[in-house]
Structure 1
């Protein structure tokens, strides 16, 4: 029998966390910081930074936290909100396919915001403490999300359940008692943004995955519970319906199902992007040889139409266009995240010539994984087809530590400089050691990117 969720949140210790789980947390820490760095350059990041500066400032003698890669100081809620929107503005952060969403983009900025304030107040926090808080946030968030998807008909954004994970981690950091933790979870779940994910898929805008409101909701829930505010029981963490999702808590770790993205677009597009990348190389094909293409995939992925996106938000939730970017450029990185890519004539041609096929079999099996296959129809009459495949970066086909490092530098180096990026990587590598300097890491990831 697993641990009670409130006892798990209150008493989890570093020594109880398996090494493989800690390894995931270290990878996610580096990966998420890299996404935050490039996210600080986006229009979404800029708008929300200015919003929280004006609407959520830190008052004299009140909790205060620095924004990621900004240098500004606001309230912890404001820092969590801006950080979540910033990370989510570049769809390159970690996730978990079965829970249909992403933990790091919502829980990491919440944890960092509160840790920054607690260190300002003089509370001792080690790197091991940071890893414990992140582990709690991911594990509680994932299980809350699995329960939500398993018991509620609507497909809700990650913000709905990362709010609960963030509240759990902040409750641990604030050393709340059992009753306060229960209220914190209940407040976060009740106030969490149960926004419908497919609305953002069908109408891509800056709303994204709901974590921009889920993260500050989790932070505020813990602070409110600390002050005596009460909340209804969190039905995704307690009760008979939730029990199957929590009965092995602390014995089996959902954290180990975390995947990492090779490309900064919706993961539903990744199997097709991987497929065209490999086909082009295996058959030595140039994009000029492609007359048309067909992507056969699961239903939700076909909703990522995006044959002619007009904004970067539409590109993020597209399938045909990023597929075409890979066919033409052979990569999807920072250079392809510029708005000029939206008017690339060869990418536009391939995208408009790409057919999306809603396949019943792939829809049925795309639960723990995401499936697709690709056929390229060439000008000389040849047809080349990929095998059915799932994305790179899944736990059974992981990105290596070297690839995670390369991705971090690809996203961060041009924004904050190679020297600072290397210093962040070296600092995170020591997060479990006695000589880890949390204040130094906080300074590195909150100082302005300029």
Structure 2
């Protein structure tokens, strides 16, 4: 195999992958790993994911399917676990982009378990992959905007090239790839993209979640084939990535000059609510508006949301499926007005059919705001005006949602969130407290114990 790098930025990637991870970055990496694993356990019980995990014909037994007692070959386990990680819409993400960690953690976990890797090695591998993927993501988002102007259907993310590179790189490190094999893994994965031509979030088909799963599966396979001797394409690196230099304001190559000195993972966010993060700024603004007093849903004349453009896509008011509900700002806000919370139980078939919630959702209107749009994606803001039938107007606003790195969730609240997620996937309720406590402890100490021990704690 050749180790010659066709571009300096590719050399910077290779050097970074061989470098150490500082303690602060490692702690952020541990938090990302724990967050994704909790989300994946909860997602293992989701419609579609649970059926595949239970009934699909898999081969091998080297890796676990989280939330179940099944085992499979690493690519198949990665596919199912990555789909589970995004199914409940509660996994972490990066402030200026998509859900970077889901594929990295779910895909790399399968390889780490198969090779009996220690927790620190796995966390460090995930942290390195995260840094590379955030930088690829910035360019791919810029490319995506141009593609969406040229084609009749909408290219959706976060299920694209960086979600293939992430699990590929993490897996290769966990499988003890040589420097040459790691270079070829990156080249193979960097020329792969599992693209959802149209992400049917408003419809909420469970197959939507498996686009992330197929990305992780492709990433793990890229690592396995590189270790088996397959070489990637240097020409593809040049042809695909050179044009990115003109797409980004500061250029593409410059993104990689800061590897190891600027840790993008420090700006990851966590989700207090199991719904698309675009629904969170309006929800937090609503909470600010009404939490000082009790509001009877029947007294609400209208709810007007002003926010950034991407969030206004979440405007469908009558979701029919779990995923559709998670991508509906009217439904999420109406749920909070009627139930006082937005949690996993708010997206069951019974909850989605609640006529009171549906009636309030029909009164919610989303409007693009130039100010919030100008600040996006550095800030994800919204303001809400609740008009009551008695003529009173209640208002609230947020510059960014709760769980943002600038407004992190309190530790106790976040730990309780994870407890609920783990209980949902492991037992369906929270009665088996000892079992859930064991799983919580495993997440807290994921960097200090062998990965096989952590995985064992996340199985029924």
Q: Work out whether the TM-score is over 0.5.
A: yes
> CA separation in 2, counterparts of 1:116 and 1:236?
36
> CA separation in 1, counterparts of 2:54 and 2:239?
34
- Equivalent residue number for residue 122 of structure 1: none
Tell me, yes or no, if the aligned pair for 1:157 and 1:210 is still in contact at 8 Å.
no
> CA separation in 2, counterparts of 1:237 and 1:405?
42
Is 1:363 paired with 2:373? yes
**CA 195–232 in structure 1, closer or farther in 2 if over 3 Å, else same:** farther
1:235 Cα shift?
5.9
- Equivalent residue number for residue 77 of structure 1: 75
> CA separation in 1, counterparts of 2:415 and 2:69?
25
Correspondence 1:180-329 to 2 at 5 A: 180-196=181-197, 199-201=199-201, 203-206=203-206, 207-208=208-209, 210-233=211-234, 234=237, 241=245, 242-329=252-339
- Equivalent residue number for residue 146 of structure 1: 138
- Equivalent residue number for residue 95 of structure 2: 97
> CA separation in 2, counterparts of 1:42 and 1:287?
29
> CA separation in 2, counterparts of 1:208 and 1:200?
10
1:376 Cα shift?
0.3
Select the residue among 35, 47, 59 that pairs with 1:57: 59
CA deviation digits over 1:128-186, x for unaligned, max 9? 11211221222222222123224553455122112111111112122323332232122
Tell me, yes or no, if the aligned pair for 1:201 and 1:303 is still in contact at 8 Å.
no
- Equivalent residue number for residue 419 of structure 1: 434
Deviating more after overlay: 380-389 vs 248-257: 380-389
Select the residue among 67, 78, 86 that pairs with 1:88: 86
Scaled by the length of structure 2, what TM-score is found?
0.87
CA deviation digits over 1:363-389, x for unaligned, max 9? 222222212110001011111111343
1:47 Cα shift?
3.0
> CA separation in 1, counterparts of 2:141 and 2:359?
38
1:232 Cα shift?
2.2
> CA separation in 1, counterparts of 2:353 and 2:143?
43
Name the Cα RMSD after superposition.
2.3
> CA separation in 2, counterparts of 1:343 and 1:202?
16
Tell me, yes or no, if the aligned pair for 1:143 and 1:246 is still in contact at 8 Å.
yes
Where do 5+ consecutive residues of structure 1 fail to align?
120-124
Where do 5+ consecutive residues of structure 2 fail to align?
1-7, 148-154, 246-251, 427-431
> CA separation in 1, counterparts of 2:442 and 2:85?
20
Select the residue among 395, 410, 416 that pairs with 2:420: 410
> CA separation in 1, counterparts of 2:210 and 2:96?
16
Secondary structure of 1:115's partner?
Answer: helix
Secondary structure of 2:404's partner?
Answer: coil
Scaled by the length of structure 1, what TM-score is found?
0.89
**CA 391–226 in structure 1, closer or farther in 2 if over 3 Å, else same:** same
1:333 Cα shift?
1.1
Deviating more after overlay: 75-84 vs 269-278: 269-278
**CA 83–199 in structure 1, closer or farther in 2 if over 3 Å, else same:** closer
Is 1:134 paired with 2:108? no
> CA separation in 2, counterparts of 1:140 and 1:261?
23
> CA separation in 2, counterparts of 1:194 and 1:438?
30
Secondary structure of 1:80's partner?
Answer: helix
1:437 Cα shift?
4.3
**CA 414–65 in structure 1, closer or farther in 2 if over 3 Å, else same:** closer
**CA 48–245 in structure 1, closer or farther in 2 if over 3 Å, else same:** farther
Select the residue among 11, 16, 20 that pairs with 1:8: 16
> CA separation in 2, counterparts of 1:432 and 1:46?
28
Select the residue among 96, 110, 113 that pairs with 1:113: 110
